[in-house]
């Protein structure tokens, strides 16, 4: 049977400005990027809330990718909005505005059909909501989690409570240092692993990722691209490729984790090549596997 991943996170209307263009109120959000990326590998179930301004054209993206939206609630109010901009090096988003809107009063109820999900991705959202979702899942095999400075700043205690129940944490390098209160990345990683996650994935933008495991560290570069337009959602599409592949593989061996890191990097690379969700939405599994092969060549070397 095809494995299923339950994701909770934001479904958003984003306004984004990069040195190469801008988009206003386009479909985005952590759960959206994650779901579309992961849908190439596994069945995806979304838990999130949207407002009355969320149109059928937005919902079509989920339908087109066979994403189960039984847990996507529509309620009175406005959809979550995020406004951000990137400077020339594109490595870090500057948040200009965050409007939680319908997420402020959201109390997620997990549909019965979702309760037996083996894989859970707690996308970037209020850590209290992440916990409420986790409490309703019967016996997840693997729980992965993302977060950001907004929550490390505003809800540290709640976040630490979530982390105790997480197997894999994915965050960027700045957030790693901030969460650990430690400048050295390796020491910071070990401090965070002592908070709960046995695997930590540190995202470093165009410099790639580092995965810290119980007894190994794996590093992968970002795929070298000539065209990078919009990094929004890079982290979530990375997580989508990573979790999507892990769920498809059905095992958590070091080999599977390393391959998952490369599938994550592949999905992030497609995502940043175009604006908004355009880089992911028209992909085929062949495109993905071809770039996976190119990654193998990029990083392969022979032992002495």
Q: Which residue ranges make up the site for ligand AMP (CB under 6 A)?
A: 10, 12, 14, 28-30, 33, 82, 98, 124-125, 148, 150, 232-236
Please check whether residue 45 is in contact with residue 249, taking contact to mean a CB–CB distance below 8 angstroms.
no
Minimum gap (Å) between residue 10 Cβ and ligand AMP: 3
Interacting residues of 130 by C-beta distance below 8 A, sequence separation 6+? 8, 122, 145, 162
d(C-alpha 69, C-alpha 74), whole Å? 11
Minimum gap (Å) between residue 154 Cβ and ligand AMP: 9
Minimum gap (Å) between residue 255 Cβ and ligand AMP: 26
Between residues 154 and 219, which has the closer beta carbon with respect to ligand AMP?
154
Based on its alpha-carbon atoms, the radius of gyration of the chain, rounded to whole angstroms, reads: 18
Please check whether residue 44 is in contact with residue 68, taking contact to mean a CB–CB distance below 8 angstroms.
yes
Please check whether residue 222 is in contact with residue 206, taking contact to mean a CB–CB distance below 8 angstroms.
yes
Minimum gap (Å) between residue 234 Cβ and ligand AMP: 5
Minimum gap (Å) between residue 183 Cβ and ligand AMP: 22
Between residues 190 and 274, which has the closer beta carbon with respect to ligand AMP?
274
Between residues 23 and 185, which has the closer beta carbon with respect to ligand AMP?
23
Instruction: Give the chain's length.
Output: 304
Please check whether residue 247 is in contact with residue 221, taking contact to mean a CB–CB distance below 8 angstroms.
no
d(C-alpha 70, C-alpha 128), whole Å? 21
Between residues 29 and 197, which has the closer beta carbon with respect to ligand AMP?
29
Between residues 30 and 117, which has the closer beta carbon with respect to ligand AMP?
30
d(C-alpha 38, C-alpha 272), whole Å? 16
């Amino acid at each position: 049977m095809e494995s299923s991943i339950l994701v909770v996170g934001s479904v958003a209307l984003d306004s984004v400005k990069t040195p190469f263009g801008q988009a206003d109120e386009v479909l985005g959000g952590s759960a959206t990027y994650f779901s579309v990326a992961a849908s190439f590998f596994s069945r995806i179930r979304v838990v999130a809330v949207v407002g009355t301004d969320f149109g059928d054209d937005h919902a079509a993206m989920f339908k087109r990718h066979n994403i189960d939206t039984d847990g996507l609630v529509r309620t009175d109010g406005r959809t979550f909005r995020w406004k951000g901009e990137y400077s020339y090096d594109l490595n870090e988003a500057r948040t200009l505005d965050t409007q939680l809107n319908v997420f402020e009063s959201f109390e997620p109820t997990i549909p019965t059909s979702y309760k037996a999900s083996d894989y859970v991705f707690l996308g970037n959202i209020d850590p209290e909501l992440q916990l409420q979702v986790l409490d309703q899942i019967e016996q997840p095999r693997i729980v992965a989690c993302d977060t950001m400075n907004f929550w490390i700043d505003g809800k540290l205690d709640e976040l630490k409570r979530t982390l105790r129940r997480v197997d894999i944490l994915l965050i960027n390098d700045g957030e790693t240092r901030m969460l650990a209160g430690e400048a050295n990345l390796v020491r910071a990683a070990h401090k965070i692993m002592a908070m709960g996650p046995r695997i930590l994935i540190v995202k470093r933008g165009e410099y790639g990722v580092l995965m810290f495991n119980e007894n190994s560290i794996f590093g992968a570069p970002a795929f070298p691209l000539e065209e990078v337009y919009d990094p929004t959602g890079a982290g979530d599409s990375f997580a989508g490729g990573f979790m999507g592949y892990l769920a498809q593989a059905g095992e958590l061996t070091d080999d599977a984790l390393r391959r998952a890191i490369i599938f994550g990097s592949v999905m992030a690379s497609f995502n940043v090549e175009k604006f908004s969700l355009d880089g992911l939405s028209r992909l085929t599994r062949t495109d993905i596997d071809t770039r996976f092969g190119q990654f193998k060549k990029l990083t392969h070397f022979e032992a002495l």
